[in-house]
Structure 1
Amino acid sequence: MSEGLSHRQSWNYLNFCGVSPLYDPARMAAHRFDERHSLQGALVFAEYPDVLGELRQSAGRLLHTDANNLSFVKNTAEGLSMIAAGYPLQAGDEIVSYVHEYPSNHYPWLVQEHRGATLKLIQNRAYGLLACDDSITLPGPCSFSLEDIDALVTPRTKIISISHVQFTSGFAVDLKQLGAYCKERNIDLVVDAAQSLGALPLYPEMWNISAIAASGWKWLLGPIGCGLLYTSPAFREKIQTVMTGADLMKQGQDYLNHTWNPYTDGRKFEYSTSPVSLAVALKVCIDELPLQNTIEGVRDHIFAMQDVFIELLDRSSLAGIKEKIRPLCFQPEHRSGILSLIVPDPDTASRKLRDKGIVCTVRGGYLRLAPHLPTTASDIERFFSALASTV
C-alpha cells in the first residue's frame, strides 16, 4: 500500500480524517484522462464512454447496493443541500440533528426553517466511553445516545440527519440500531459519511438508511472536489428536483428537445457537467483500497494501529505521561477511524509534531490521530515518542 502514496517519502501522515494524500494510481489515472482530453477534446469520450456509470458500479459494490442508487457529487454539502431543499417539508415538520454537527450537515437543514420546519438539536454529553474519569474535563464535543435522540422525536419528526462519525470526538453512531428505530417510526435517516466512507462498513439497505452523502478526499484518498450521494428509491421519489441541467434529462444531447423527462435513478442529482477526471480517480481509489482490501479489512487495520498507540501509552513509564495524554476510547459499536486525544495544548502539539514530520490535526479541542492502510506500527511508535516529548 505504501508504494501508492508519495507522502511516505516526506511525512508520517496521520490525518486521513482531514484532507488525505491523493492515492498515486488515482492521480495517474486522472492524468491519463486529462492527457487524452488535451489531445482529443470531446473525442476523449469515445475512449471513456461511461466514467460515471463505472464509478457508480464501484460505489454500489462498496455500499452493497445497486449502482442506480448512487450519484457523483462535488462534496457532502452539495448532496445534503439538494436533499434538504427537495424534501417535502411542511410547516411544523421537524428535523433532528446533533448540536455539534459539521457545517455540511447543519446549514442545509437550518435554512429549511424558512419553510416553517424546525431543526431540533441533540445536546452533547459523554456517552459510550469505555471509561470516564470524573476528574477529566472533556475539551470539546463528545457524543449522545439513542435515548437523547428519542427525547426529541415527535410525530412531526420527518428526518434524523446525523454524521456516522463525529469529526471532533470520533464517536460513531450505531447506524444499525438507529436505522431500526427510524423504520419503526417512518422517519427518514440521512447520514453524513464524510468521516466513515472508506474506513468503516456502511450498508444502507441493511440498516434502513434513506440517504448518505460523503466526500471522496478523506478515507477514500481521492481528489479534492468529488464525493458520492446514495439515495434509496423510495426516498428519491420524495425529493423534488432543485438543480437542473442538460445531464438531468434522458434525451441527452438532443438539446433542443425541452421535454421534461428527467432521470429518476441516481442521475437525478447529476444535473450538469461533472469533473470527469476526478470521477476516474475516485473509481480507482474505491477499487484498489476498500474493495481490494475489503472494508472490514481496512477497519481492522485502522483499529490495530490505534491499539498500538493505546498499548504504548498504557505501558509507558514516562513520568506523568498518562495524565497528559488521554485517548477518548469508545465502546466497540461507537468506535471509528478517529482516535481523539486530550492533551494540554493541542494546537502547540500539532505544530511541534509537524516540525518533526508528523501530520495530525486539531478539531474541537482534541488532537486527532487518524491512521489508515499505509500506516505502520513504526509510524505509530514514532508519533507516540514525538508526542510524549512535546506535551
Structure 2
Amino acid sequence: MINPSDEFPLAPELCYLNHAAVAPWPRRAAEAVRRFAEENISLGARDYPAWLQVEKRLRERLQRLLNAPSTADVALVKNTSEALSFVAFGLDWRAGDQVVISDEEFPSNRIVWEALKPRGVEVVQVNLGGKDPEGALLDACGPRTRLLSISSVQFASGLRLDLPRLGAGCRAKNVLLCVDAIQQLGAQPLDVQSCDCAFAMADGHKWMLGPEGLGVFYCRSDLREQLALHEYGWHMLEHAGDYDRNDWQPARSARRFECGSPNMLGAMALEASLSLLEEVGMPQVAAQIEERVLQLQEGLQRIAGAQLHSPLNPARRAGILTFSLAGWDNQALFARLREQQVICAQRGKGIRLSPHFYTEPAVIERSLTVLAQLRQG
C-alpha cells in the first residue's frame, strides 16, 4: 500500500493542485536522482551498463503505460513539441493537404501545423463546444485531410475525447490520428492500439510525475520509415556503438528519432516515478483522481458565484477542473490563491485545478475553504 505522505512529503501549508502544469516528484524519484548524483561524484560512469538497464526499464514502463505493441515503438524525446515536430516535418505533405485540429489546442499542437503553411498545408480548426465534439472533428475530415491531431484532454477546459471513436473514424476516412496525450497519460489509462493511434506523445513532468526535459513518442511501426528524419547522430543508428563502421542506416526501431546521447538523469527520475504509478495501477489512479475532482466540483457548487467551465460528466474529463468566481478577475484570483498556498494555474476561462491520485481530501477541503472565504470578501 502506497503512503502518499511518505512519497509526497509536501510542505504542510501547501495545497498543490497543479499537476496539469508541473507535478512534484515522488520521493523515490528524488532518491533515484540523489543516488545517481552520488554515483557520479564518486565513480563517474564506471557502471554505465547499469544505467542503461534503468533506461531499458523506463522504455518497458512506457510501453505498458501506452499499451504499445513493443518497446521498439517508443522513443524517448525531449518534450511533446519535439515529437509533434517529428511528425509534422516528417510526413510527405503535398500542397492542398489538410490537418484538422480543435480550436482549444495548447500552442504546441497548433503552431507546429501552422508552420507547414509554406508547404501549402491548410490547418482546419474545429469548435468542440457542441454536444458531439468527436462528430464535429470527423465531419471536418474531408478528402484532402491527411491527419487529425488532437489533445486527448484539452488543457484549459479539461474536456476528454473518445479516442477509440476518433481512431475508428479516422481509419474509415484514411486519416492518420495523432494524439497529444500530455493531459491524459499518467492520469487515465491510454491504449494506443485500441485507439488506432498513428502517433502519440507526452511529456513526463505532468501526470507521470517526472522531471521536465524527458517525454515519450509513440510511432506506429508501419509509419516509422515514412517519417523523413531531420536529426542525425550516433545514437539513432541501427548499429549504434559500432564506432568503426562506415556504412550506416537509421535504427529500425523508434530509436531512429533519438539522435544523440540520452537524458540519463531524467531517465533515472522518470523510471522511478512510473514505478509508483504501476504499483498503484492506472485504474486505481484514475478512480482516485476522479474522486478528488468530484470533491472539488461539489465543493465549488456550494460556493455562491463559482462557475464551472469543465465537463461535469466524469466520462468527459480526466484530472482538470476549471472555474471562475464572481467578483474576481481571474488573474487577481490566481495571485491571491498563490498567496494562500493554493498552487493552481490560470487557464482558459478561469482557474484550473488539477489534483492527482495522492492528493489528500483534506488538501482539497482547505482549498475550498480558502475560496469560500475569498468569495465572502
TM-score, structure 1 normalization:
0.90
What CA distance in whole angstroms lies between the structure 1 residues aligned with 2:312 and 2:300? 16
2:273 equivalent in structure 1: 285
1:64, 1:324 → 2: CA distance? 39
Match of 1:158 in 2: 146
Tell me which of 84, 93, 98 is aligned to 2:97.
93
Contact residue 23 and residue 209 of structure 2 kept, 8 A = yes
Residue 332 (structure 1) aligned with residue 320 (structure 2): no
Q: How many residues align?
A: 369
Instruction: Report the equivalent of 1:294.
Output: 281
In structure 2, what is the Cα distance between the partners aligned to 1:7 and 1:44? Answer: 33
One of 245, 259, 262 as aligned partner of 1:274? 262
Distance 1:10 1:313 in 2: 21
In the alignment, the residues of structure 2 paired with residue 20 and residue 80 of structure 1 have an alpha-carbon distance, to the nearest angstrom, of 22
Decide whether the 8 Å contact of 1:93 with 1:158 is kept in 2: yes
8 Å contact from structure 1 (residues 72, 279) kept in 2: no
1:57 to 42, 47, 60: 60
Partner of 1:376: 360
- Opposite residue 184 of structure 1, the aligned amino acid is A
Alignment of 1:20 with 2:18, yes or no, is: no
- Residue 344 (structure 2) pairs with residue 356 (structure 1): no
CA contact (8 A) 1:337 1:370 kept: yes
Give the drift of 1:352: 1.5
- Unpaired runs of 5+ in structure 2? none
Scaled by the length of structure 2, the TM-score of the pair is: 0.93
- State the alpha-carbon separation in 1 of the partners of residues 79 and 108 from structure 2: 9
Give the letter for the 1:383 counterpart: S
**Alignment-mate amino acid for residue 261 of structure 1:** Q
Residue 265 of structure 1: how far off its partner (Å) = 1.2
Q: Does 1:113 align with 2:117?
A: yes
Q: Deviations over 1:34-63 (max 9, x none)?
A: 322233333231332333322110111111
* Structure 1 counterpart SS, 2:287: helix
Superposition deviation, residue 377 in structure 1: 1.5
Q: What's the CA shift for 1:212?
A: 0.7
- SS of equivalent to 2:323: strand
Structure 1 counterpart SS, 2:82:
helix
- Following superposition, the deviation at residue 287 of structure 1 comes to 1.4
Structure 2 partner of 1:223: 211
What SS does the corresponding residue of 1:106 show, helix, strand or coil? helix
Correspondence for 1:102 among 103, 106, 127: 106
The answer as to 2:204 corresponding to 1:200 is no
8 A Cα contact 1:305 1:377, kept in partner = yes
Partner of 1:347: 331
SS at match of 2:216: strand
> Are 1:9 and 2:12 matched, yes or no?
yes
1:138 alignment partner in structure 2: none
Q: What is the CA distance between 1:335 and its match in structure 2?
A: 1.4
Q: In 2, are the aligned partners of 1:350 and 1:367 still within 8 Å (CA)?
A: yes
- Separation (CA, whole Å) in 1 of partners of 2:212 and 2:80: 12
CA distance in 2, matches of 1:10, 1:120: 45
Whichever residue aligns with residue 75 of structure 2, its letter is S
- Whether the aligned pair in 1 keeps the contact of 2:138 and 2:166 (CA below 8 Å) is no
SS in 2 for 1:72: strand
| Contact map agreement 1:37 1:44 (CA 8 A) in 2 | no
Counterparts of 2:271 and 2:234, CA distance in 1: 24
Residues 334 and 324 of structure 1: CA distance in aligned 2, closer, same or farther (over 3 Å):
closer
The alignment's C-alpha RMSD in Å is 1.7
Q: Which residue of 2 aligns with 1:177?
A: 165
> Where does structure 1 lack aligned partners over 5 or more consecutive residues?
129-143
Query: Do residues 187 (structure 1) and 171 (structure 2) align?
Result: no
Q: Distance in 2 between matches of 1:312 and 1:343?
A: 13
Q: Is the 8 A contact 2:297 2:321 kept in 1?
A: no
**1:206: Cα distance to partner?**
1.1
Instruction: Determine whether 1:323 maps to 2:311.
Output: no
Once residues 271 and 279 of structure 2 are traced to their aligned partners in structure 1, the CA distance between those partners, rounded to angstroms, is: 12
**Counterpart of 1:133?**
none
Question: How many Å separate the matches in 2 of 1:164 and 1:378?
Answer: 29
CA separation in 2, counterparts of 1:274 and 1:47?
Answer: 14
Distance 1:254 1:73 in 2: 23
Distance in 1, Cα, partners of 2:175 & 2:115:
20
2:371 is paired with a residue whose SS is helix
